[in-house]
Amino acid sequence: MTSPTKLLTFLDSVFINCIRFAIPVFFCIAGWWGPYIFNLDMILCLLIALACFFIGISFISLFRKLVQINIDEIPVSILIFYFLIYSFLCHTLLMGIPILIIFVGMLAGHHWVTKIIRKKTHSESIDFEIFRVSLFTAVMIGLFSLLSSFYIVFNIHISPILDQLIISTNQIEKPILVMLLICCSAVISLMQFLATKLLMYYEVKSYKKQHQLF
């Protein structure tokens, strides 16, 4: 098995498992943020989140047929919902720092380009789809970055990491701070756009080389 094939197989496996565990992850996020908003103890929040995760596992075990769906048949609206679930998860894991969402965006790009290749979409349409998906992922990570920026600018304490950023930026004038945070969000969005776009083009090139689809 060649290196590109191994990568694509790995990404397929990750994507399928993300779809399977989307509901437990959603339960877990809700179980974490619900108690956290009410200032409950961190350990208690973690225990509730884990309990909700296992409730989610039980849920998908009971409705196994809903989980074993053809991933190419999942509606775009559901895929966007799953994208938001894992974006919130990554946002939560780093306590408000959105950098991990880049990997969610790349995974979304992988799924979409694989889907359009299976449909043997025309090359010009593929270029448009790659741009569209890359732009979508860039906008989404930009929104999460701006959300974190909002917390910093208005001194909203939601995590220890953001609390440290709030403390370290207290001496910066608000207009300058806002501009800096907007620039940071723009840079992260550009990173996401390029990462998604390059991965999708890499996959198209690999499929062309191995299967001569186009």
pLDDT tens readout for residues 123-138? 678 889 999 999 999 9
pLDDT of residue 195: 96
- The domain limits of the chain are 1-69, 72-214
Separation of alpha carbons 62 and 81, rounded Å = 21
pLDDT of residue 214: 46
Mean pLDDT within 55-59: 87
DSSP-derived letter for residue 94 is T
pLDDT of residue 16 exceeding 70 = yes
Q: What letter represents residue 30's amino acid?
A: A
pLDDT of residue 121 exceeding 80 = no
CA nearest 87: which of 72, 77, 74, 102? 102
| Mean pLDDT over the full length of the chain | 85
pLDDT of residue 20: 83
Each residue of 19-46: pLDDT tens digit?
888 889 999 988 888 877 777 787 888 8
pTM: 0.85
Mean pLDDT within 190-211: 88
Higher pLDDT, 90 or 121: 90
Separation of alpha carbons 101 and 1, rounded Å = 29
Q: How many CB atoms lie within 10 A of CB 118?
A: 11
With pLDDT > 70 as the criterion, what percentage of the chain qualifies? 91
pLDDT of residue 94: 82
pLDDT of residue 112 exceeding 70 = yes
With pLDDT > 90 as the criterion, what percentage of the chain qualifies? 36
pLDDT of residue 212: 59
pLDDT of residue 67: 53
Mean pLDDT within 147-175: 82
CA distances to 84, 89, 125 from 115, in Å: 20, 25, 13
- Three-class SS state of 38: coil
